[in-house]
Amino acid sequence: MAATVRRRAATALLTAFAAVATSLALQPPALAAPAAGAPGLADCTTTAPVTCHFDVAPGTYDVTVDLGGAAAASTRLTAETRRTVLAETATEAGQRLRRSFTVDVRTPEGEPLGPDGNPGLDVYVGGAAPALAGIRVRPARHARQILLIGDSTVCDQPGAPYSGWGQQLPQYLGRGVSVANYADSGESTVSYLANPGLFPAVRTRIGKGDLVLIQLAHNDKQTDGPTYRANLEALVDGVRARGGKPVLVTPVVRRWFNADGTLDNDTALLVNALGVNHPEVVRSVAADHGVPLIDLTARTKQLVESLGVEDSKALYLYDEKRDNTHTSTRGATLYAGLVGDGLRAQHLLPRPRTQGAR
């Protein structure tokens, strides 16, 4: 009975994300022709995949798009290094929808220790049958900033099939909130603090009231308990010293099942070879220092167990790479939704403003 209840709960959650999941089809999209003379489309290519490029300096920008055309359409938008800024959005024949989002433009464009990427802002138009009728870019005023500190399960992954949950988070935020993803593959709490291109660089970007989400554990395989705890406390103190608001995030689970269909083992739950239970240390630091906590370990454990051994493979790169740690776009999208839910449940983030037809 309990297994049936868990599976029904997982099915309900997946149904709630169905509109997002449809955007993950691998086939090339059928492109609706852009409207002649539409605002901003002079900055876009006219053949698939449509790319809109804007020569802007590093900064934060509000982007407003008009979607729809003569035929029914379904459009999904990504920006910069594969960040999903607008989930798959359907329009009926003749319908126009206006949507807005806020984008962080920086160098390096993706991972902080990666290549510089393309200068300016790039927006990519995809989806099952995309139709872009207009696009406008303006400097953002009074935008709220969320900075991310993490590893490869969080970062802006440069290539498919990999995706970090931080890469998928912008689609849940809308206009007025930007995501500056400073997660970097392979980093532990030790290396993130020590490398001048990581936490020292992030600190310079933290402004008063900015949220800074911290998820580091997967690569702390040889970090002892006192050091791991001290490193988390150093990150929290460093954020607060700049006027930011730290949020601790426990790590996403590894898809490592027991014979009984649970993830109750050290590999899945990020307990390292020294016996350090990373999620428990994160929870303890959050409680002791009054830091908001998103228990992503518990949330992802519940979801993966509910889906079971077979259905949970799609959340990770098991089929592609026999990888039970790194997430697919589908998994990263669902996990980003859990992070967004956690932020709103603690009133750290408002619900996106409703955007209607025009």
Tokens, residue 296: 């992503």
- Residue type for 120, please? G
Q: pLDDT value at position 14?
A: 54
- Residue type for 262, please? T
The pLDDT > 90 percentage for the chain reads 84
Strand-pairing partners, residue 51, are 124
Mean pLDDT of the chain: 91
User: Which of 322, 317, 353 is closest to 163 using CA atoms?
Assistant: 317
Strand-pairing partners, residue 64, are 100, 136
Rounded to whole angstroms, the Cα distance separating 64 from 62 reads 7
Q: pLDDT value at position 25?
A: 34
Residue burial 58-93, b: 16+ Cβ < 10 Å; e: rest: eebbbbbbbbbbeebbbbbbbbbbbbbbbbbbbbee
* Sheet with 97-105: strands ordered across: 97-105, 59-67, 132-139
Tokens, residue 354: 């409703």
The DSSP secondary-structure symbol of 93 reads: T
User: Could you write out the three-class secondary structure of 265-318?
Assistant: CCCCCCECCCCCEHHHHHHHHHHHHCCCEECHHHHHHHHHHHHHHHHHHHHEEH
The pLDDT > 70 percentage for the chain reads 87
Helix and strand element counts for the chain (H, E): 10, 14
The DSSP secondary-structure symbol of 196 reads: T
Rounded to whole angstroms, the Cα distance separating 183 from 343 reads 18
Rounded to whole angstroms, the Cα distance separating 140 from 92 reads 30
Place of tokens 């409680």: 287
The mean per-residue pLDDT over the stretch 280-297 comes to: 98
Residue 30, burial from CB neighbour count under 10 angstroms (0-12, 13-18, 19+): middle
pLDDT at 111 over 60: yes
pLDDT at 117 over 80: yes
The mean per-residue pLDDT over the stretch 168-178 comes to: 96
pTM of the model: 0.90
222: left (phi over 0), alpha (psi -120 to 50) or beta: alpha
The mean per-residue pLDDT over the stretch 336-350 comes to: 95
pLDDT at 26 over 60: no
Q: pLDDT value at position 7?
A: 52
**Dihedral sign computed on CA atoms, order 313, 264, 212, 227:** negative
pLDDT at 310 over 80: yes
Tokens, residue 196: 């001048």
Rounded to whole angstroms, the Cα distance separating 64 from 137 reads 7
Q: pLDDT value at position 24?
A: 38
Residue 9 has φ and ψ, to the nearest 5°, of -65, -40
Q: pLDDT value at position 353?
A: 61
The mean per-residue pLDDT over the stretch 55-82 comes to: 97
User: Which of 210, 172, 201 is closest to 332 using CA atoms?
Assistant: 172
User: Which of 354, 317, 351 is closest to 164 using CA atoms?
Assistant: 317
**Max avg pLDDT among 44-53, 133-142, 343-352:** 133-142
The mean per-residue pLDDT over the stretch 164-193 comes to: 97
pLDDT at 284 over 60: yes
Q: pLDDT value at position 58?
A: 97
Q: pLDDT value at position 10?
A: 54
The mean per-residue pLDDT over the stretch 104-133 comes to: 97
pLDDT at 16 over 60: no
Q: pLDDT value at position 2?
A: 47
Rounded to whole angstroms, the Cα distance separating 231 from 170 reads 27
